[in-house]
């Protein structure tokens, strides 16, 4: 599937139960809208992060009416907005206030006074900071159950898979040799090199030393 944004590498999962539903579009849209992205509002000081599903072609859109499917693949994205006040700017603001406070009162501000002012300064600077935005593409083959998440951050992958499991009522299993063996309850010894491979490796080393 084409990558529009996010990492070049991706994490693979298989979803259970697999197989397209008769009402696939309605079911998918309903689920995506349950965890649709809602922009951060500067007026809400308690919120510094927002995350949710958006359309693949328009990261500001959450209607999911068009462009949701390409063949048997459902295509959408996960958007994360983070608002963070630069530590350097916050320190400079507090230092300026502390200097003015000391000049006016003849003493440096106390710990509590400084903490109160620091929070006030953080809220003031917060109004001037634009949130950073990151988007990860997601493709889901509804016929085979194969899911690809185009991002390298394990934390983000876990967040996306948890959201998908919650809103769609599916279970996502990592697709890897180790994960597959674990699900099949294979003993660890079964994952080791075979006797033939060990023999080839030993032969290669002997020839190299000769």
Residue-wise pLDDT tens digits, 130-172: 889 999 999 999 999 999 999 999 999 999 999 999 999 999 9
- Model confidence over 4-34: pLDDT tens digits? 555 567 899 999 987 767 788 899 999 999 9
- Please tell me the predicted confidence (pLDDT) of residue 83: 87
> Residue 152: which of 162, 144, 160 has the closest Cα?
160
Q: What is the mean pLDDT of residues 35-41?
A: 90
pLDDT at 181 over 60: no
Can you give the pTM of this predicted structure?
A: 0.70
Q: Is 86 exposed, middle or buried (0-12, 13-18, 19+ CB in 10 A)?
A: exposed
**182 vs 74 pLDDT, higher one:** 74
pLDDT at 69 over 60: yes
- Alpha helices per DSSP H over 35-147: 87-105, 111-126
């Amino acid at each position: 599937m084409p990558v529009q944004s996010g990492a070049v590498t991706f994490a693979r999962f298989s979803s259970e139960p697999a197989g397209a539903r008769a009402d696939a579009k309605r079911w998918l849209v309903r689920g995506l809208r349950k965890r649709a992205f809602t922009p951060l509002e500067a007026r809400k000081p308690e919120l510094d992060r927002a995350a949710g599903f958006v359309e693949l072609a328009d990261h500001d859109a959450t209607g999911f009416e068009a462009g949701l499917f390409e063949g048997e693949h459902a295509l959408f994205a996960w958007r994360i907005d983070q608002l963070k006040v630069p530590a350097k700017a916050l320190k400079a603001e507090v230092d300026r206030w502390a200097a003015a406070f000391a000049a006016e009162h003849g003493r440096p501000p106390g710990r509590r006074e400084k903490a109160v002012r620091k929070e006030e300064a953080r809220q003031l600077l917060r109004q001037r900071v634009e949130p950073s935005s990151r988007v990860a593409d997601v493709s889901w083959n509804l016929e085979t159950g194969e899911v690809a998440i185009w991002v390298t951050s394990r934390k983000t992958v876990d967040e996306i898979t948890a959201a998908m499991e919650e809103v769609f009522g599916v279970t996502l299993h990592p697709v890897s040799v180790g994960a597959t063996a674990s699900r099949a309850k294979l003993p660890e010894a079964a994952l080791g090199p075979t006797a033939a491979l060990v023999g080839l490796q030993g032969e290669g080393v002997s020839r190299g030393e000769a």
